[in-house]
Chains A and B, each alone.
Chain A
Amino acid sequence: MKPAKFDYVAPTTVDAAVEALRAANGEGKVLAGGQSLLPLLNFRMTRPAVLVDLNGIRELSFIELRGDRVAIGALTRHREIEQSPLIASKLPVMAAAMRHVAHLAIRNRGTIGGSLSHADPAAELPMLSLLYSASLSVQGPSGRRTIAAEDFFVDALTNCLEPEDIVVEIEFPILQQNGWAFEEVARRFGDFALASIAVSVRRGASTIKDARVAVMGVADTPLRLKEVEGQLRGIAIDDQMPDRFSELVTSSVSANGDLHASAEYRQHLLGQLARRAMQTALAAESDRR
């Protein structure tokens, strides 16, 4: 028996789940896919008094087109997102990233709400929520509210939620883009990234009209590089462009080091990935690797 003792409740509605968390007086914890929480319980790094299992709440599991946005229920599994034709056609950067999210058995259980809430600095979905300017719908004792992804990630493994809050769904605006790329390096396929970048561009005949850039694995939270986005606006598209982009990215970020990789190595990786990502984003659809 590895985890410390806890009480277990399995509500079937979000209202009942929020009520169970409120009744637990700050000692409750939400259980979604369990792919990050169970390791912490097994090591007794966390010892909640009550686990509130969301897996019986049907209404939390869906992928749905809403005009110019795609809404995803918090309990939707990584594997469902990986396979979804709607995600593939409307959120292609996310679709490309999903096979890098852990391994099949973990994708079969892990959820988008859990991934965002866990807020790992090297997890794909938190970075993508920044790239897409996603908004999270959160329910607490005083009702529902919306939190922008850019306000959600506070620090490594720390989000801005109160203990009684539950992420209910996430809305991703569909990007106006005609080029995009997702690049990552991990020690082993499916492991957390050492560095990663996602890029979306809207290009004219010879210049960039608009761009979005997000990176992860290099800081305590994923980062959206708005300054770099500003510098890209109106920039000419030529052979030097990917190199210039790489310089812009590396000069706007200073990578953290840890036991998996030094700061210098992560910084180097980020530069390489940035160049590669821009090459891919600017290539014609048919030249994609």
Chain B
Amino acid sequence: MSATVSVTVNGTKYDVQDVEPRLLLSDFLRDMLGLTGTHVGCEHGVCGACTVLVNGDSVRSCLMLAIQANGAEITTVEGLGTPETLNVLQAQFREHHGLQCGFCTPGMLMTGEDLLRKYPLATDDEIREGLSGNLCRCTGYQNIVAAIRAAAGKRAETVP
């Protein structure tokens, strides 16, 4: 049993044939589309590294089947900006040194994008609450919180 999956990822339309139902969206993005910016840590929803936007909402790509994404619009970290033109949140991560090894960063950015859209993020507590589903083994979170705080401050000026 296999199916065709048609998705738009970062604005590009893909039609992929012969997708097995058991293929996870995370593996589909990485192995079939070559978009390895989406990282895979735990594969059971705990680490948040695989977070992507599906129709504008952040989801764990390890907890969704690729065939369930048929017809969806997906944004991965590759769709946020380019090295020359970082988007607002990415620029704040660089500015505030919000990453070290970078493994958690794609998930932090995609979660941050969704948080910035859905919550006021008026306090650091609220930012930390929003990031509670994303693990980072390097930074101690402090600079990630600072980057999101700064991006929240700039939100009124520019919407990514």
Indicate if the CB atoms of B44 and A42 lie closer than 8 Å.
yes
Tell me which of B27, B59, B114 contacts A109 (CB under 8 A).
B59
Tell me which of B22, B62, B132 contacts A190 (CB under 8 A).
B132
Chain A residue total in the interface (Cβ 8 A): 31
Indicate if the CB atoms of A108 and B65 lie closer than 8 Å.
no
**How far, in whole Å, are A4 and B24 apart by their CA atoms in the complex?**
12
Q: Is A104 an interface residue (CB 8 A)?
A: yes
The B-contacting residues of A in range 81-135, CB under 8 angstroms, are: 99, 102-106, 108-109
Q: Is A7 an interface residue (CB 8 A)?
A: yes
Chain A nearest CB from B73 CB (Å) reads 14
Tell me which of B1, B20, B22, B59 contacts A105 (CB under 8 A).
B59
Q: Is B38 an interface residue (CB 8 A)?
A: no
**How far, in whole Å, are A189 and B129 apart by their CA atoms in the complex?**
6
Give every chain A residue within 8 A of B20 (Cβ-Cβ).
1, 5
- The proximity string for A residues 1-26 relative to B, scoring 1 for CB distances below 8 Å and 0 otherwise, is 11111111000000000000000000
Q: Which residue of B lies closest to A109 (CB)?
A: B59
At the interface with chain B, which of A31-39, A227-235, A242-250? A31-39
**How far, in whole Å, are A1 and B25 apart by their CA atoms in the complex?**
11
**How far, in whole Å, are A253 and B65 apart by their CA atoms in the complex?**
41
Q: Which residue of A lies closest to B115 (CB)?
A: A104
Indicate if the CB atoms of A105 and B58 lie closer than 8 Å.
yes
**How far, in whole Å, are A270 and B57 apart by their CA atoms in the complex?**
35
Give every chain B residue within 8 A of A41 (Cβ-Cβ).
22
Indicate if the CB atoms of A189 and B45 lie closer than 8 Å.
no
Indicate if the CB atoms of B21 and A7 lie closer than 8 Å.
yes
Give every chain A residue within 8 A of B67 (Cβ-Cβ).
8
Give every chain B residue within 8 A of A42 (Cβ-Cβ).
24, 43-44, 62
Q: Is the interface of B mostly helix, strand, loop or mixed?
A: mixed
Tell me which of A6, A102, A105 contacts B21 (CB under 8 A).
A6
Known: A1-B27, A103-B132, A106-B133. A7 touches B1 (CB 8 A): yes
**How far, in whole Å, are A8 and B20 apart by their CA atoms in the complex?**
9
Q: Is A55 an interface residue (CB 8 A)?
A: yes
**How far, in whole Å, are A210 and B57 apart by their CA atoms in the complex?**
41
Chain B nearest CB from A88 CB (Å) reads 16
Chain B nearest CB from A192 CB (Å) reads 11
**How far, in whole Å, are A51 and B59 apart by their CA atoms in the complex?**
20
**How far, in whole Å, are A34 and B133 apart by their CA atoms in the complex?**
16
Q: Is A150 an interface residue (CB 8 A)?
A: no
Give every chain B residue within 8 A of A3 (Cβ-Cβ).
22, 24
Q: Is B75 an interface residue (CB 8 A)?
A: no
Known: A102-B133, A104-B58, A189-B129. 8 other contacts (CB 8 A): A38-B65, A39-B63, A41-B22, A42-B43, A53-B68, A105-B57, A105-B114, A109-B59
Can you list 20 A-B pairs with a CB-CB distance of less than 8 A?
A: A3-B22, A8-B1, A8-B67, A38-B62, A38-B65, A39-B44, A42-B44, A42-B62, A55-B68, A103-B133, A104-B115, A104-B130, A105-B48, A105-B57, A105-B59, A106-B63, A108-B58, A109-B64, A188-B132, A191-B132
Residues of B in contact with A (beta carbons under 8 Å apart): 1, 3, 20-24, 27, 43-45, 48, 51, 57-60, 62-65, 67-68, 111, 114-115, 118, 128-130, 132-134
